[in-house]
Structure 1
Amino acid sequence: MKIFTDLASVSIDRGRSAVTIGKFDGVHAGHRAVIRQLLDVAARNDLSSVVVTFDRHPLDLLAPGNCPATLVGTERKLELLSSTGVEAALVVAFDRPFADQTPEEFVSRILVDALHAKVVLVGRDFRFGVRGTGDVDALRRLGKENDFTVELIEDVRLEDDRRVSSTWIRELLRDGDVEGAAGLLEHTPTVRGVVVHGAARGRELGFPTANLSPESQGLIPADGVYAGWLTDQGVRYRAAISVGNNPTFTGVPQKQVEAFVLDQDIDLYDHVVDVEFTHRIRGMVKYTGVGPLIEQMNDDVQQVRRLLA
């Protein structure tokens, strides 16, 4: 997949393109359905398939106090988009000049001049331009003026008729339901970060852990102990993962992610790793002493072995 981060660098292989636009946070099942439709339209019309997305959530600029936590960082989002088969992604810097564009300027600069759009796929609630003044009807009008058509994308809904959305996935992760979140994502919830030095309590207890930096990317699930995987430099290891502040000890920062890699003693310090959450084993519990904690940790590891066998 080609990745463009400025309009001047955009090159379209087949001259005209089929384009869809959105945040694509998590690249979940709903997004993947949109991209399948995009690929189908592109193939039928001999067009390049292009996704337009943003370097951050628009609310990070427009209403920071209301901006939700992102499910994945930009790097991970682009990896997931690449896995769908889309040919190109344009990552737009959502800054003040971009937010202040009129609908006409957005269409002219991005869809027409940069991407040479022939077909644009959007949802019914699509808004664009300064203060969201452009809607689907405006896009269709501008399409007629600029030789592109607009196709509506229907929401992906499950049996209970709830729309698959990043908001729903955030709710599941905040409840610790990583399996439910994975079902909506169509991939495993993952946090990416640099391994940093911790207090070394895990090593003292016989369970040395890789501690992720607080600046890690990806939405961390609810406090608790999880089964999952740690990936370092393309190698995937089974791991027991602790999320939280470990209430048995004082002075531990909130929302710490620690991964104990099973059956391996490897130096991960300063490595950028992915930590995947596949199953929640239990919530976080305060123990009366180190002995009961070690006993519980041994049990946690055995559960991880069974779940990931």
Structure 2
Amino acid sequence: MGLNPKKFFVGKDFRFGYKGSGTPEVLKQTGARLGFETDIFEFTHLADERISSTRVRQAINNGDLKLASDLMGKQHEMCGRIVQRLNDYKGLFVPDAALILPPAGEYWVNLKNSTNKYFTKAIIFPTNQFIEMNLDQAAINCFSKDRVTIEFLQSASTAVPEEIDLEIANQRHSILS
């Protein structure tokens, strides 16, 4: 089963193939022969440093969610499902794929589906593939049916309490309305 791509978007330093010998120009020439287009992007900078996927991954791995957000132009997020643990109000977020997680710790997050958003604290454990969240029963009912997105806002250890109180007041009970 072929994918039949119509267009590739690559940076000017993109490499592929054996020992990275394929260049954007080779991809462009191949596309002319096989019927797809290739757009080659110039570098973009933030604070005089080049924005790259490597830099974004490093920021997330280091727990610098602000830098990752600035580099991407949006919050770091991932998709998955919520599973309720037996006999308690803990929801486990199960990612759809092996994705880049911030380091173990507590984070303020938005949990979203197609119609609702819920602000809560998430816990990433050092040896866990799941993300644990305290969810009330209404949130569990709302988010356990569909695929959801978890949007990482900031480390709970660096959050300013007033910012968190305001966020909770603005969002927490939106799923009940």
Whether the 8 Å CA contact 1:230–1:259 is kept in 2: the answer is no
Write the mapping of 1:148-159 to structure 2, written as runs, cut at 5 A: 153-159=41-47
Aligned to 1:73: none
Q: Is structure 2 residue 44 aligned with structure 1 residue 126?
A: no
Name the CA shift for 1:20/1:281 in 2 (closer, same or farther; >3 Å).
same
Distance 1:213 1:128 in 2: 31
Write the mapping of 1:64-75 to structure 2, written as runs, cut at 5 A: none
Higher relative contact order (CA 8 A, sep 6+): 2
Write the mapping of 1:172-187 to structure 2, written as runs, cut at 5 A: 172-187=59-74
Structure 1 residue runs of 5 or longer lacking an equivalent are 13-18, 23-121, 246-252, 284-299
For this pair of structures, how many residues does the alignment match? 166
Distance 1:172 1:273 in 2: 24
Distance 1:265 1:216 in 2: 23
Aligned to 2:166: 306
Q: Which amino acid aligns with 1:223?
A: A
Deviation at 1:126, TM superposition (A): 3.2
Aligned to 2:82: 195
Q: Which has the higher strand share?
A: 2
Deviation at 1:172, TM superposition (A): 1.5
Whether the 8 Å CA contact 1:192–1:217 is kept in 2: the answer is no
Aligned to 2:133: 259
Q: Which amino acid aligns with 1:254?
A: N
Distance 2:98 2:105 in 1: 19
Distance 2:128 2:37 in 1: 50
Whether the 8 Å CA contact 1:222–1:243 is kept in 2: the answer is yes
Whether the 8 Å CA contact 1:128–1:134 is kept in 2: the answer is yes
Whether the 8 Å CA contact 2:43–2:50 is kept in 1: the answer is yes
Whether the 8 Å CA contact 2:107–2:153 is kept in 1: the answer is yes
Name the CA shift for 1:255/1:176 in 2 (closer, same or farther; >3 Å).
farther
Whether the 8 Å CA contact 1:224–1:280 is kept in 2: the answer is yes
Aligned to 1:6: 3
Aligned to 1:37: none
Distance 2:79 2:154 in 1: 18
Q: For each residue in 1:118-137, what CA deviation from the matched residue of structure 2 results, as whole angstroms up to 9, or x when unmatched? A: xxxx51x2335555433356
Whether the 8 Å CA contact 2:105–2:124 is kept in 1: the answer is yes
**TM-score, normalised with respect to structure 2:** 0.68
Structure 2 residue runs of 5 or longer lacking an equivalent are 171-177
Q: Which has the higher helix share?
A: 1
Deviation at 1:164, TM superposition (A): 0.8
Write the mapping of 1:206-221 to structure 2, written as runs, cut at 5 A: 208-213=89-94, 216=97, 218-221=99-102
Deviation at 1:155, TM superposition (A): 0.9
From the CA coordinates, give the structure whose radius of gyration is larger: 1
- Partner of 1:213, secondary structure, is strand
Write the mapping of 1:53-68 to structure 2, written as runs, cut at 5 A: none
Aligned to 2:173: none
RMSD: 3.9
Aligned to 2:112: 231
